[in-house]
Amino acid sequence: MQNDPDDLVGERYEVSVGPVAHGGHCVARTAPDADGRTRVLFVRHALPGERVIAEVTEGGAGSRFLRADAVRVVEASRDRVAAPCPFAGPGRCGGCDWQHATPGAQRRLKAEVIAEQLRRLAGLTPEEAGWDGSVAPHPADKLPAGEVPGWRTRIQYTVDASGRVGLRRHRSHEVEPIDRCLIAAPGVRELGVEARSWPGTASVEAVAATGSHDRQVVVTPLPGGRLPLVELDRPVSVLRVDDQGGVHRAHGRPFVRERAAGRTWRVSAGGFWQVHPAAADTLVSEVLHGLEPKPQETAIDLYCGAGLFAGALAERVRAVLGVESSRRAVADARHNLRELDNVRVEEGKVERVLPRTGITGADLVVLDPPRAGAGREVVRQVTALGPRRVAYVACDPAALARDLAFFAEHEYRSVSLRAFDFFPMTHHVECVAILERAARGR
């Protein structure tokens, strides 16, 4: 008889909490059972060094590990605080992982995760990766104790059966209704999305652009449903997502205007843009500082999105090629960079586009891949171009570490790595690694 994969859900164990792990939880191990067997738990809402009562949320007798929530704290860490958000906690909103930790503790936990991923997946110490072991907060997030930075300029709300907006619970399709998201940027909050009813709607995305007054909501009706009447507290553009995923303008502009790196950027609905208002400028500055571009050099911007890094590089080098798979993002990038005659943007998957360009070399390469990372084949193609330096912008430390190992196979190593806390209260962290070809004989 096969074990139920979730037959231990609801079981409770008193455990001592061990180190933080990638994904917003900590590792713990149960006491030995009658057969001498212990079980590994990945526990949310806990902190290293605590003793907690952990309730299993996923897993059974045959599972390699169990997922659990700390439902009661027996011995608390000095880094523990009362979660400021009333919707945070076991079984509730899954958006924030570290509401119960001080800001300094959150950054230490993120640094520990980066170090562990570097060691485990890339075989590197922080020093070998050129990292000082810290995660830098942005000055905009240095608030008085107990205040939460409202940084998230894009929020995807889910709508429950009664028409109330909310956010999904951790690893669940269930909706946690909310009346205010504390990490929402002021421009998102002022729309009043959370105060409205959204009957017949599956989801609502709210966007507040940085550097302009553009506000946008993207509404996805339930299958076969119609766009509800949208009346919000501020002027806003409204777009509708159809049953096939197409986006249609209902009112206002089909894009928002973002401001960064001294330029205005058109970003269409569904296009990628950094969600922290300070992230785009900070990352451009970090990439340019690390690459040290020279006027006669050529550069390639992979996963270029709306063209942010390509545009910054184009003012400093001879020629730039951008590559992006999203058709809407390519249209945005070409529009945003239309006045720069030394830039061209190609549409398609990076691993397919690079070979067909006929380019055999480049001095500089920027990669800003999706969360899964660039992967072995893209790294092989990049290193075959023989760039002087590579800037790798990563939103996932595990993917970054895996790709650094692939770069090492081609004798490229990280000479500088910096980490930034653009995602307070969550486990997410942004990194910028600068790579160079290793000197012979190292």
Binding site members for S-adenosyl-L-methionine: 274, 303, 324, 368
Instruction: Assess whether 395 carries a catalytic annotation.
Output: yes
Structure tokens that stand for 405 in this block: 């190992």
Chain CA centroid to CA 159, Å: 22
Helix (H, G, I), strand (E, B) or coil at 112: helix
Cβ–Cβ < 8 Å for 231, 208: no
Which of 85, 96, 304, 395 is an active site residue?
A: 395
Measuring CA to CA, which residue among 377, 291, 301 is closest to residue 340? 301
Angle at which helices 397-409 and 376-384 pack, to 10 degrees? 50
Report the b/e string of 278-313 with b at 16+ CB within 10 A: bbbbbbbebbbebbebeeebbbbbbbbbbbbbbbbb
Place of tokens 């709300």: 157
Cβ–Cβ < 8 Å for 66, 8: yes
Cβ–Cβ < 8 Å for 5, 26: no
Beta carbons within 8 Å of 382's beta carbon, 6+ residues apart? 302, 354, 365, 367, 374, 390
Distance between CA 427 and CA 98 in Å, rounded?
A: 7
Catalytic residue positions, numbered: 395
